[in-house]
Structures are given as C-alpha cells and as structure tokens.
Amino acid sequence: MAMLAREKETLAAISNTTRGSLQVLHHPPKATRVVQLFMGGAASHLDMFDHKPALEQHHGEPSDFGEPIELFQNGLGPWMKSPWKFAAHGESGKMLSEVVAPLGACVDDMAFIHNVTGKTGVHSQATYLQATGFQDPGFPGMGSWISYALGSLNDNLPTFVVLPDHRGYASNGPKNWASAFLPAHSQGTTIFPQRSNPIDDLQALAKFVTAESDRDGFALLKKLNGDYQIARPDDSRLESRIRSYELAAKMQLAAPTALDISEEPEHILKMYGLDKLGATYPAEINAPEEIEYFGRKCLIARRLLERDVRFVQIWSGNDNSFPRRNWDSHENIARDHGPLATGMAVGAAALIQDLKQRGLLNETLVLWTTEFGRMPSSQGGTGRDHNPFVFTNWLCGGGIQGGTTHGLSDQWGYKPLDRDNPTQVYDIHATMLHLLGIDHEKLTVRHNGIDRRLTDVHGHLIQEILT
C-alpha cells in the first residue's frame, strides 16, 4: 500500500512539478514561505544574542561548571566575557551585542529562544541535525520536506533555493539540502550569484548556441517529443517531460531577472550594505567584505521570495579550515565573529525590514540557526570551544509573536536554565511546519520500513512564541 502510494506520489510529482504532496493543508497557515539563515561552524550565542552579566563580573576567574564536562577540544580556560558591549533595543528592550546592533531595529518583530540544545559537538552531525532533523546522512533537508509537502508557488523558478557561502560549502555540503528519499524535485537548487551560470546549466555556454537556435530548438523538441508521446498516449510521464522543457525555458528568462540587483534603487542597496559594490578587500577577514557578501544574498533572497520561491536557505561560513572563514572561533572570537556577525546583522536586518515594508514579512517565516553554541569559558586564549548543551535560535515573521524571549539559558549560558525542558530542533521544526499549515506528525513518507518525519518521533509546538 505504502509503496503504491509512493508510486502515485511520484507520478503526481512528475505530472506537475508545482504541486505538493498535501492535497489539503492540515489547518489554515500563518505563513507561506521560509527563509532560513544558517551559520556554519557554530555561532556564539554569548557574543550576540544571549547577554550574560555574570561573565562580565567573573571574567578571568577560573571557570567552574559544577560538574565534570567533556568538550570537543581539550582545555577549559577561565570564564570569558564577550569582547563586545551589550545594549537594550526596541520596545521589548532586548539586549543585543554591538556587533549585531543593526538587528536592534527588528527585535520587536523577533522571538528569541535561548535554550536550544543539541546532541553532539561534532560539526558534521550537528549540522545534519539542525538541517535535516537527523544526525546521520541520508535524510531530506527541512526545505525539501516543505517543498515536497507544499509544492511550488511559481512556475518559473525553483521551489527551494540555497545560497551557499560564496567561499564554499559548510559541513556536509549539498547533503544538507538533499531530497534523500523524497522525490528529486524537492531538493534545494544552489545559486551562486557570482558565477557565469548562477544556477547550474541555466544557460548554454557554447559558441554554437544562439538565442535563435534555442528558440527553434525548443519548438522542434516540442514537436518531436509530442509525436513520441502521441504514439504512447497512456504514459503521462512523456507529457510531463514536454512540460518540463517549457518550464525550463521560462526559468531561463525569469532567473537572470530575479538575480539582477542592478535595478534596485540606491536606498535599498544602501540598506543591504551594497552601496560600495566592486570594492577590493584585504586578505584578512573583514567586516565590509562580509557585509557585501551576506547583504547580496539577503537582497537576492528578497527578490526570490517576491517571485514566489517557497524556501530560501542562506549560509554564512565555509568549511572548518584555516584561516577561519566561518564561525568556528576556537582561537579568537573578536577576529572571526566580529566581521561575520556584522555582515550577518546588516543583511538580516535589511531583509526583515525590507520584507516588512513590502507587506511580505507577515507571510514569510524567518529562522536564524547554527550548529551549536560556544562555551562561556575560553580555551586558554581568546576563543571558545563548542557548546552543544545550549545555544540560541530566533524566528521572525508570519505567525511569530515579536518582541518575545522564550526559554532561558543558565547564568553562564552553559546549559538551559531549566535542564528538564530545553528546546530541541524538533520543536523548532514542528512549530515552523505548524505555521505553514502542516501537522508535523502527519507529514510522513515510508522509507525502508519506517514512516519518516522531519521531526522523527519528537517535536512539540512552541506556543509561547506564536501570535
């Protein structure tokens, strides 16, 4: 039965790539699209969103966690305060670090969760966990599940777009947005705006191909493939195939326009920190460069959302190599987190405000997440080790109660304040699916004998952050 259902599913998917597997939503949705901001390498909650006066008071004193702990690397240094000052923002008075101050203008639209807990301090497994809900490879990304369930809102762009860090992939690369056992059309499509073909194979890079040869080619293919299909009238796949070429032609027209930010007015470019395009940057990691790259991705995300792309995933941070080009600040928080956080905050704040002024924020769900947090103690120097025990997520947009903080970490930011009731990735995912009109327990696919869900066998709605 299940296999039969899957076959039908696949057929349905083939016959119309724009249709989702859910014929009817489980309940009325609050949002229709999603932006996920993913910080690769593990971003420190303590230096951006989760203010800890205790660390300022006890800075430099030997750290004492009251229990034996085991960290990813060795050596537990003294308590270490953030190199940055915190200040209150918005009506909600949310304390933010000065490196993410641009987000101060948005805090009254944001809901912070400071007691998110992970299961592992290993980058790869932790990235998988936050991206797919499972620690091991072989599971679909959240965007794939949502694309699979809800289908596309447009007919000329991908449903699920991924904007990787321009320097390269974070841990696990494209496996974080793979469709795994879901139909291939639900996988994320990567866009590298700076490449000659920003979407793989969007345009033919060959001298012998011209606009005219393409136009005539599409027409002749339609004819010849149509003849083949007419002789096999019962096979709907052949019809879908003809349609897939029509969609491809539409995408060739739509995608370059969607990615072209040159038509944006000056004040919008400035908002995203893109008023100095074409500047050259030093070799060391620096804020202006991070602002430009992250801002560009955020602006493109807005243009895609406007054009009815369902799910946009934006990555910050390359792999864990040297010199650091991601958030894995074992050596020096100020050096790496400074530029990365500034770039992220400028871009993310612009995106939220821009969506809001266009009336899109109330139907778009924004999630900021990372692999895990970082320790309140140093590693002997000015860096922090991995902290899988607690970290911060924030959400914003459709259905989210702005200006809220739910779930606290303890006075050090070491573990959840209430250790028995942490927030887990399953709860975040369940809540997001809920806002999209999906009951996370009902969205299942049978795979190798198990009815798989994004939330495995877990997940509770976080009512406290909902409107």
Partner 1 sequence: MKSIVLVTCLLIFTMDMTAAAQDPILFQPEIANIFEQHCVRCHNNQTREGGLSLQSRATAMAGGESGKLFEISADTPSLLLELISGSNPAMPKDAKPLPAKKVAAIRTWIDAGADWPAEIELTDRYLADRDWWSMQPIKKANIPNLTTLEKPLQAWARTPIDHFILNKQAEFGLLPSTEATRQTLMRRLYFDLLGLPPTPEEVHAFLNDDSPTAYEKLVDRLLASPQHGERWARHWLDVVKYADTCGYDKDKLRPNAWPYRDYVIDSFNEDKPYSRFVEEQIAGDVLFPNTRDGILGLGFVAAGPWDFIGHVEVSEEKIDGKIARHIDRDEMVTNTLNTFCSLTIQCARCHNHKFDPFTQQHYYSLQAVFAAVDKAERPYDLDPETQLKQTRLTQQLAEIDSRQAELTQEIIRAGPELVALDAKIAELKPKIEPTDKPPEYGYHSYIVPSSLTEKWVQIDLGREVAVDRIILNPCHDEFNAIGSGFGFPLRFRLEGALDKEHFRVTDENILFADMTTTNFPNPRIAPVEFEGRGETTRYLRLTATHLAPRQNDYMLAISEIQILDSEGTNVALGAQVSALDSIENPVRWRKSNLVDGKWPQATHEDASAELLAVTRERTALYTRVLTPERRKRQETILAEKKATETAMAALPKAHVVYAAATDFSPQANFKPTKGKPRTIHVLHRGNINQPGPEVQAGTVPLFDNQFEFDLPPEQTEGDRRAALARWITRPDHPLTWRSIINRLWLYHFGRGIVASPNDFGRMGQKPTHPLLLDWMASQFRDHGQSLKQLHRLIVNSATYRQTSDQDSILADLPKTQNASLSVDQENHYLWRARRRRLEAEEIRDSILTVSGRMDHTMGGPGYYLFELERPEHSPHYEYYKFDPTDSRSHRRSVYRFIVRSQPDPYMTTLDCADSSQSTPQRGETLTSLQALSLLNNRFNLTMSQYFAERAAGDYDSLKQQVKGAFELALNRKITELEHQQLMTYAEKHGLENTCRLLFNLSEFVFID
**Does 238 contact partner 1 by CB under 8 A?**
yes
**Does 4 contact partner 1 by CB under 8 A?**
yes
The Cα 391–Cα 370 span in angstroms is 8
Q: How many angstroms separate the Cα of 52 from the Cα of each of 59, 207, 454?
A: 11, 60, 33
By CB under 8 A, name the one of 12, 25, 90, 244 that touches partner 1: 244
The pattern of x and - marking residues 15 through 34 that bind partner 1 according to CB under 8 A reads: --x-----------------
Query: ∠191-192-193 over CA atoms, to 5°?
Result: 100
Instruction: Write down the residue that tokens 């990365």 correspond to.
Output: 340
The Cα 325–Cα 336 span in angstroms is 7
By CB under 8 A, name the one of 57, 62, 91, 228 that touches partner 1: 228
CB of 99 to partner 1, least distance (A): 20
**Does 421 contact partner 1 by CB under 8 A?**
no
Nearer to partner 1 by C-beta: 359 or 449? 449
The pattern of x and - marking residues 432 through 451 that bind partner 1 according to CB under 8 A reads: --------------x-xxx-
Considering only CA atoms, which of 415, 271, 304, 339 is closest in space to residue 36?
A: 304
Q: Which residues inside 331-360 make contact with partner 1, applying CB under 8 A?
A: 331-332
**Does 175 contact partner 1 by CB under 8 A?**
yes
Residue-by-residue DSSP string for 402-446: TTEEES-B-TTSSSBSSTTS-B-HHHHHHHHHHHTT--TTT--EE
Q: Which stretch binds partner 1 (CB under 8 A): 108-116, 182-190, 297-305, 348-356?
A: 182-190
**Does 73 contact partner 1 by CB under 8 A?**
yes
Residues 58/167, Cβ–Cβ less than 8 Å: no
CB of 298 to partner 1, least distance (A): 23
**Does 381 contact partner 1 by CB under 8 A?**
yes
Residue-by-residue DSSP string for 288-357: HHHHHHHHHHHHHHHHHHHTT-SEEEEEE---S-SS--SS--SSBHHHHHHHHHHHHHHHHHHHHHHHHH
**Does 12 contact partner 1 by CB under 8 A?**
no
Nearer to partner 1 by C-beta: 88 or 224? 224
The Cα 298–Cα 279 span in angstroms is 19
The pattern of x and - marking residues 264 through 283 that bind partner 1 according to CB under 8 A reads: --------------------
Number of residues in the chain: 467
The tokens for 293 are 């790259």
Residues 18/308, Cβ–Cβ less than 8 Å: no
Nearer to partner 1 by C-beta: 77 or 102? 77
Q: Count the residues of the shown chain that bind partner 1, applying the rule CB under 8 A.
A: 92
Element (H, E) at 95: strand 94-97
CB of 187 to partner 1, least distance (A): 8
The Cα 425–Cα 128 span in angstroms is 11
Q: How many angstroms separate the Cα of 226 from the Cα of each of 79, 127, 241, 339?
A: 70, 45, 10, 55
Nearer to partner 1 by C-beta: 216 or 418? 216
Max CA distance (Å), the chain = 81
Peptide bond into 193 cis (omega under 30): no
Q: Which stretch binds partner 1 (CB under 8 A): 42-50, 58-66, 123-131, 414-422?
A: 123-131
**Does 209 contact partner 1 by CB under 8 A?**
yes
**Does 180 contact partner 1 by CB under 8 A?**
yes
Considering only CA atoms, which of 165, 169, 172 is closest in space to residue 125?
A: 172
Q: Which stretch binds partner 1 (CB under 8 A): 50-58, 164-172, 300-308, 432-440?
A: 164-172
**Does 59 contact partner 1 by CB under 8 A?**
no
By CB under 8 A, name the one of 59, 85, 237, 358 that touches partner 1: 237
Q: Which stretch binds partner 1 (CB under 8 A): 172-180, 291-299, 337-345, 415-423?
A: 172-180
Strands 445-447 and 160-163: unpaired
- Three-class SS state of 38: strand
Nearer to partner 1 by C-beta: 251 or 271? 251
**Does 161 contact partner 1 by CB under 8 A?**
no
Residues 290/298, Cβ–Cβ less than 8 Å: no
By CB under 8 A, name the one of 200, 357, 463, 467 that touches partner 1: 200
Q: Which stretch binds partner 1 (CB under 8 A): 27-35, 207-215, 356-364, 418-426?
A: 207-215
**Does 248 contact partner 1 by CB under 8 A?**
yes
By CB under 8 A, name the one of 27, 59, 88, 184 that touches partner 1: 184
**Does 208 contact partner 1 by CB under 8 A?**
yes
